[in-house]
Amino acid sequence: MNSRTGLAVLVVGAGTGSLATEIAASRLLAPYFGSSTIVWANLIGLVLAGLALGYWLGGKLADRRPEPRLLGLIVLAAALWVAVTPFVARPLLDATVSNLDSASAGAVVGSFFAVLLLFAPAIVLLGMVSPFAIRLAITDV
């Protein structure tokens, strides 16, 4: 497998990982905030914003340091974040629900910050993969 094919496989894997993270996030948040339209809106909106930020950061970083090792570290960091999230989510979500339970907008605010803290960092990192891979694949800039 040549390096371009490897990069293409990595990009597909990162895209699949971001979608899987989004679906897993909805399942993880549902017992705490439900699965209403507003919870989904927070989730989808923050995932799209995280991907956009990741695309921008990935492009900037790839232009400064176009190193395959750095791309590997980005993917590793995203994988570790996703792997740890289910274990740290429960205490954070329990605290969020108990503190916002009396608020009328508890599900809106709670789900927003839960997605922002638990899932957005991994989504940003996964978003960085595509522009970084493109930069590594091209020979002339």
Closest listed residue to residue 128, CA positions, set 34, 56, 41: 56
> Can you tell me the distance from the alpha carbon of 44 to that of 23, in angstroms, rounded to the nearest whole number?
10
pLDDT tens-digit map of 20-57: 999 999 999 999 888 999 999 999 999 999 999 999 99
> Can you tell me the distance from the alpha carbon of 105 to that of 100, in angstroms, rounded to the nearest whole number?
8
pTM for the model stands at 0.92
CB 21 within 8 A of CB 126: yes
pLDDT band with cut points at 50, 70 and 90 for residue 95: confident
End-to-end CA distance of the chain: 24
Residue pointed to by tokens 């590793």: 76
Domain count, the chain: 1
- Note down the domain range covering 70: 3-137
